[in-house]
Chains A and B, each alone.
Chain A
Amino acid sequence: MIVFVQATGGFFSWEWVVNHLDDIWDRTVQHLMLTAIAIAIGIVISLALSVVALRFRWTYAPITWFTGILYTIPSLALFAFLVPVTGLSVLTAEIGLVSYTLLILIRNMVAGIDGVPPATVESARGMGYTDRGLFFAVELPLALPVIIAGVRIASVTTIGLVTITALIGQGGLGFFILRGLNLFYSPVGTTQIVVGTVVSVALAVAVDLSLVGVERLATPWSRRRATA
């Protein structure tokens, strides 16, 4: 009933925000968890597929073709495909979220490793590095800036997509957007839509900036070169 009394009121209610800080925090944590799991699994799968693509060049085209199709499928449709199979579950959300990270991550991993100067690879071989040692100790670290650029794009994209999983019963901050949609005629509803949107965007920016920090820590040599 209160909802209808307020229907003629403003667009945003600070009171609602203050009364629901705990709720907002919980959903933010859930949002981050959904994102982190998707990115972690995405990185593992992409790394494996990138190794295959680098070892057997002819597989790169079909791999990007397939992950490109996954990337093209609208998210609501992809989740809808999965619901009859895996239900309204975290698993459904994660399969969809991981699918969207693959194209971005694989492209950057392959481009990053391809971008390692041939002279560096040559000298590493001359120093006696095995294939495996070369990959983990030389190529991967040198490709890190390009790989992390991919992880940044994938993370920001995933944080946005997590909101849609509200429609399949997950959603993190998307939960507020969906509940706000059902109360759109009242300030309580619009407030929730705005809170869900703003916090989700803020989360994306924060994660993006943290990854810039990770890159700086993980590639100290590029900092040294910059100051030299």
Chain B
Amino acid sequence: MISFLGEVAAWFGDSANWLGASGILNRLREHIQITVAATAVSTVVAIPPAVWLAHRRIGGTFVVAVVNIARAIPSFAIVVLFLPISIRLGLGIGFWPTFLALLFLAIPPMFTNAYTGVAGVDPDLVEASRGMGMTDREVLTKVELPMASPVILAAVRVAAVQVVATATLGALVGWGGLGRFIVDGFAVRDSVEVFAGALLVAGLAIVTELVLGTVEKHVVPATLRTRADGVESVVA
């Protein structure tokens, strides 16, 4: 066991593993890029309709159904399923099947978390703001959105962490990223590379969680912080 960990340390000490197209630095860059892109697109696609529908109190049952079904769909299956789909769409292997699968998996939980965040704003508060003469728009932008902001930010964080995890599986469909070390290591039965890859992937996921968690703490007023507790996260 000790000698194995020594080999892992030696793997990290070898500059050949850090540099070049298949080195750690480039794989890390790929992984972060696709995570940022997929999280950003999911945010733009999922949050505005979720906020608007929740504001109008439309589609509550639909939201519950989506959250349950989304959890039941294996991320591994979706990544693999998007490979033949992407090929049939003429988008090829690698980036597109991975990216489309990431969007497919990130959008539903983001939508439902944002929806429950806005729909969960104390109805008395909404009532009171209407009573104070706020217009519909003001109720949304001055009451519901600020009150729901911790939940919405938490929804983005949860999605980003999920995307980091799922992007690891992109290595199975010809994409790069840190999952490459695990998948390639498995293929050639190199347990040192597999273990090193696992360390990198787990590290990136935890760092993503911590960094975005810290951002949340600085952005969200202390009085609203506990509201983000109910946000659903998904393992991938």
Q: For residue B192, which residue of chain A has the nearest CB?
A: A84
Query: Within the assembled complex, what's the spacing in Å between the Cα atoms of A63 and B72?
Result: 26
> Given A74-B202, A75-B235, A208 and B68 touching (CB < 8 A)?
yes
> Given A76-B201, A83-B194, A84-B191, A196 and B77 touching (CB < 8 A)?
yes
Query: Within the assembled complex, what's the spacing in Å between the Cα atoms of A161 and B71?
Result: 10
Query: Within the assembled complex, what's the spacing in Å between the Cα atoms of A84 and B192?
Result: 8
Grouping DSSP codes into helix (H, G, I), strand (E, B) and loop, the B interface class, with mixed when no group exceeds half, is: helix
Most buried by B among A85, A193, A194, A205: A193
Shortest B130–chain A CB gap in Å is 32
> Given A11-B84, A190-B84, A161 and B235 touching (CB < 8 A)?
yes
Are A72 and B209 in contact, CB atoms less than 8 angstroms apart? yes
The reply on A174 being an interface residue by CB < 8 A is: yes
The reply on B40 being an interface residue by CB < 8 A is: no
Size of the B side of the interface (Cβ < 8 Å), in residues, is 46
Cβ < 8 Å to B, chain A residues 66-80: 69, 71-78, 80
Are A77 and B182 in contact, CB atoms less than 8 angstroms apart? yes
Are A200 and B74 in contact, CB atoms less than 8 angstroms apart? yes
Binds A, one of B113-121, B140-148, B162-170: B162-170
> Given A81-B202, A167-B186, A76 and B179 touching (CB < 8 A)?
yes
Contact pick for B71, options A156, A177, A185, CB 8 Å: A156
The reply on A40 being an interface residue by CB < 8 A is: no
| B residues less than 8 Å from A218 (CB atoms) | none
Size of the A side of the interface (Cβ < 8 Å), in residues, is 45
> Given A177-B77, A184-B84, A77 and B205 touching (CB < 8 A)?
yes
| B residues less than 8 Å from A178 (CB atoms) | 80
Residues 203-228 of B, flagged 1 when their CB comes within 8 A of A and 0 if not, give 00110010000000000000000000
Are A201 and B168 in contact, CB atoms less than 8 angstroms apart? no
Further pairs besides A76-B169, A167-B186: 20, Cβ < 8 Å = A74-B164, A75-B236, A77-B198, A80-B182, A80-B194, A80-B198, A81-B199, A156-B72, A159-B72, A159-B74, A160-B71, A160-B72, A160-B76, A160-B235, A161-B74, A166-B76, A193-B81, A197-B81, A201-B74, A204-B71
Would you mind naming 11 contact pairs between A and B with Cβ atoms under 8 Å apart?
A: A72-B161, A75-B235, A75-B236, A81-B195, A156-B71, A159-B74, A160-B235, A161-B74, A163-B77, A177-B76, A205-B69
Q: Tell me the A residues contacting B by CB distance below 8 Å.
A: 11, 69, 71-78, 80-81, 83-85, 100, 153, 156-157, 159-164, 166-167, 174, 177-178, 180-181, 184-185, 189-190, 193-194, 196-197, 200-201, 204-205, 208
